[in-house]
Structure 1
Amino acid sequence: MDIEQKQAELIDHFVNQASVQKGSALGSVIVEATSHPSLFAFSEILAVSTVAELEGTENSVYLEVLQLFAHGTWSDYKSNSVSLPQLVPDQVLKLKQLTVLTLAETKKVLPYDQLMLELDVTNVRELEDFLINECMYVGIVRGKLDQLRRCFEVQFAAGRDLRPGQLGSMIQTLSKWLGTSDNLLISIQEKIKWADMMSELDKKHQKEVEDRVEDVKKSLSLKADVDFRGLEEIYSEPSGVMDYEEDRSRPKRRRHPMA
């Protein structure tokens, strides 16, 4: 089962659980959802009416915890730990995993120093073990650990829940990307058209050259044939016999005696 399908099944499960609970009873459902090792999206649970009704009540802290896991980071929890309940170890691990995803949204090269600060990790070995065992093996990120440059190069990162107001920004970004893609496509089509035209011109030029070469060959062949026939006629004429016969038919001149 791939991670997307498993996520969808877990979301459906917890949405159904949250729909039949109210008030403080939702606390256990939220703790279980935010502790589950395979669940990293919570917006659907936030949208459940019984969960939304926690706002402004004595049990609103459970809603705040769920909002933290949907949009926040480990640093956000530390900044508000006084007003939030203490997290269980599985929740701490989950929130740190989600923190890596948040950092990967804006940067594709994450310095070790930044990661150690955000995750409360004290040394490089511990950080690399966390990235390998708790992030890459789980399938939420893929990347390369660069010990020489002390950074993590992100190749893939799973998306998190959209923050309030983030949808409009994302639509604007996608619209801009779409416009850029359309312009790029037009440019590529024009280059293809130009290349096709140049190819046709090259073929036409090549054909003209080949025709001229063929004409020259024919001309040279014809000239060589004419020259050869001329030489053949010259060498085949019986000029020696003709001269001798003509010489015999002429009257001989008498020689006058010398005085």
Structure 2
Amino acid sequence: MDIEQKQAELIDHFVKKASAQVGSAIGAVIVEATSHASLFAFSEILAVPTVAELEGTENSVYLELLRLFAHGTWSDYKSNSGSLPQLLPDQVLKLKQLTVLTLAETNKVLPYDQLMLELDVTNVRELEDFIINECIYAGIVRGKLDQLRRCFEVQFAAGRDLRPGQLGSMIQTLSNWLGTSDNLLISIQEKIKWADTMSELDKKHRKDVEDKVEEVKKSVAVKICWSMWLTYVVAEVTHCKQADLDFRGIEEIYSEPGGVMDYEEDRIRPKRRRHPLV
């Protein structure tokens, strides 16, 4: 079960319980609610008519106690402890947890010195154990303990009950956020439109380049074929000319006087003896 669902169930339980009680019995319900380890929201209980009726009665201290847990901190209790019931150990722990949530509302980097002062913690080890065991493990905050910088970096913190008069400020903050979100959305849509246009232009450019490359390839292929054909033709012509020259050379040898035939005739003709000189 997630923390939001558990909170909703606990709130519904205590609202029904407080609605069924009157007078001092409601004080016991308030003590039980403010001591519960998993309950961190109290505005719905404050709105119960029987609880509101404690105002101005002898049990009004319990109404003030509930208001303290809805909106106050440990420092607020110390400043008004004389007019409030003494807290149980579980209530002290709960109020210190709520104090961390209040600090995290306005600053996402909480110095150790500030936390130790607000929580009445005397050393760093005790503070870090409290943040880890009672806040992070409880699921009300997430963050990083930076021992070098001596601070707690808040990444998430559960919200507390709205204080009287805080609703208008929150509505204004949300309205500003909504306006900023609308402007951001328009800007994003314009950038998406621009990106789509650039993408189409890029596709067209790529296609044009690819078409030109194909044309060049075809042109180069034709030129290569033409060059190969010319080379073949030149080779054939050269071969034919060489063959013709060789044939003519042989023909001239056989047809010239004193050529091969004259040599044969001379070879078979009787030779005259030469008389030796006296």
2:264 paired residue number = none
In 2, Cα distance between equivalents of 1:170 and 1:91: 28
Using a 3 Å threshold, how does the CA distance of structure 1 residues 232 and 170 change in structure 2: closer, same or farther? same
Deviations 1:59-91 (A, max 9, x none): 211111100000000111111112222212211
1:4 paired residue number = 4
In 2, Cα distance between equivalents of 1:197 and 1:11: 54
Identity of aligned residues (%): 80
1:113 paired residue number = 113
2:153 paired residue number = 153
1:16 paired residue number = 16
Q: What letter corresponds to residue 146 of structure 1 in structure 2? A: D
In 2, Cα distance between equivalents of 1:146 and 1:24: 46
Q: What letter corresponds to residue 67 of structure 2 in structure 1? A: Q
1:66 paired residue number = 66
In 1, Cα distance between equivalents of 2:194 and 2:159: 41
The answer to which of 123-132 and 215-224 deviates more is 215-224
TM-superposed CA distance for 1:111, in Å, is: 0.5
TM-superposed CA distance for 1:236, in Å, is: 3.3
1:182 paired residue number = 182
2:38 paired residue number = 38
Query: Does structure 1 residue 81 correspond to structure 2 residue 81?
Result: yes
1:256 paired residue number = none
In 1, Cα distance between equivalents of 2:183 and 2:73: 38
Query: Does structure 1 residue 222 correspond to structure 2 residue 229?
Result: no
Deviations 1:226-254 (A, max 9, x none): 3443444444354564995xx99xxxxxx
Using a 3 Å threshold, how does the CA distance of structure 1 residues 241 and 87 change in structure 2: closer, same or farther? closer
TM-score, with structure 1 as normaliser: 0.87
Deviations 1:114-163 (A, max 9, x none): 00111111111111111112111222112211111111111221111111
Q: What letter corresponds to residue 124 of structure 2 in structure 1? A: V
Map 1:124-163 onto structure 2 (within 5 A). 124-163=124-163
In 1, Cα distance between equivalents of 2:140 and 2:232: 92
Structure 1: unaligned runs, 5 residues or longer: 249-259
In 2, Cα distance between equivalents of 1:218 and 1:17: 89
Using a 3 Å threshold, how does the CA distance of structure 1 residues 233 and 147 change in structure 2: closer, same or farther? closer
The answer to which of 200-209 and 69-78 deviates more is 200-209
In 2, Cα distance between equivalents of 1:233 and 1:142: 86
**RMSD after superposition:** 2.2
SS in structure 2 opposite 1:82?
A: helix
The answer to which of 8-17 and 118-127 deviates more is 8-17
In 2, Cα distance between equivalents of 1:91 and 1:190: 53
